[in-house]
Amino acid sequence: MIICQFANIVNSMYYLYMNRSELHKRLADEPAYREKQILESIYSGRAKNWDEITSIPSALREKLRDLPFFCFEPVNRVVSTDGTIKSLFKMSDGALIETVLIPNKEFRTVCVSSQVGCAMACGFCATGTLGLTRNLTADEIADQVLYYKQTAKVTNVVYMGMGEPLLNLENVLPSVDILNDLMGIGARKISISTCGIIPGIRKLMDYPKQINLAISIHSPDDALRSKLMPVNKGFPLAKLLETCAEYIKKTNRRLMFEYVMLSGINDSDEQAHEIARLLRPLELVLLNLIPFHQTFLQFGSASRNRIHDFQRIVELEGVDCHIRHSAGVDVDAACGQLARTHYDKETRVT
């Protein structure tokens, strides 16, 4: 593990935060296209400070010089042995969130947070222990991607960080528009994950962009799922799967289902057959098996062999099934680990 200090860059506008409403006010006397010019320069990643936005007059650059670029202040980051980067951001009200960059040979994926904390209280997720503080704004979400876009070619974005995205669609969908329309990230490279908020899934049926949707399912039966995921009490499996069928029929898009592999709890052969038979009628589905990533929570992950056996059974039942690659586990950056941990206070950026 490498703890990264980057205070030498913090003094530039590059690592500060931008107030969009303030920008709009300052451009009140300018031609309407100026704001678009500025935002396109920023969101493209071409400009790291006002002097680099050469499409606007120098006098306007000077007028905007004291206005920072981002909606938050980066206060720390940590780098995994596999190259995954987890960053800690402080919002203007002091709230803290985490965002992760997952690099590999083909892709550079940013995992963004949509809320400060989370109210869903899933038993296997460290983020759920934080409770919910507030929703993030569209700019606060989009700027998480912009932050990494300044130094890396971001290819994919997943809304799988802190929070339940479908409980903040009024900000999540505008942030998707920013990523797609201004940052140039293809809609099919953007994935939103949910624990199964049915009203939100219904809203996404009418959303025109071809984004991906992932449903956290984690159990083939209501009794166990309700223990692991309290949301199941309000949105049980039968209603959830009925809604998923409607989603597929209306959008003609494949749904992803997420299944964390908990040793001795949901990883039996019988449960593999059950989850496959539950999902098979939907046809356009993919089941992702996710090893449980160790935290302070009292669960253990199914063994690698057990996960592979589970995958084999699901596929023999006729359902596509992949094993999700884990990234950033050693710095608490993997799925279910985001709880503002694993930072060295001495390297905190101020």
Task: Give the range with max mean pLDDT: 38-47, 248-257, 293-302.
Answer: 248-257
Contact 307, 266 (CB under 8 A): no
State residue 296's pLDDT score: 84
Q: Give percent above pLDDT 70 in the chain.
A: 92
Cβ proximity of 278 and 224 under 8 Å: no
Nearest to 189 by CA among 160, 155, 138: 155
- Of residues 63 and 231, the one with the higher pLDDT is 231
Q: What is the pLDDT of residue 343?
A: 62
What is the percent of the chain where pLDDT is above 90? 74
Active site residue 125: no
Among 5-19, 31-45, 201-215, 236-250, whose mean pLDDT is lowest?
5-19
Query: What domains can be seen in the chain, in order of their start residue?
Result: 2-64 (1.10.150), 74-347 (3.20.20.70)
Q: Is 11's pLDDT higher than 50?
A: no
Residue 81: pLDDT band with limits 50, 70, 90:
very high
> What's the pLDDT at 132?
97
What is the CA 97 to chain-centroid distance, rounded?
A: 11
- Given 71, 73, 98, 164, which residue is catalytic? 98
| Burial group, residue 36, by CB count within 10 angstroms (0-12, 13-18, 19+) | exposed
**Confidence tier at 344 by pLDDT (50, 70, 90):** low
pLDDT grade for 138, boundaries at 50, 70 and 90: very high
Per-residue pLDDT of 104-113, as tens digits, reads: 888 999 999 9
- For all residues of the chain together, what is the average pLDDT? 90
100 pLDDT higher than 90: yes
Beta strands in 195-309 (DSSP E): 212-216, 255-261, 285-291
Set 122, 125, 321, 335: catalytic member: 335
Note if 98 is an active site residue: yes
Of 6 and 229, more confident: 229
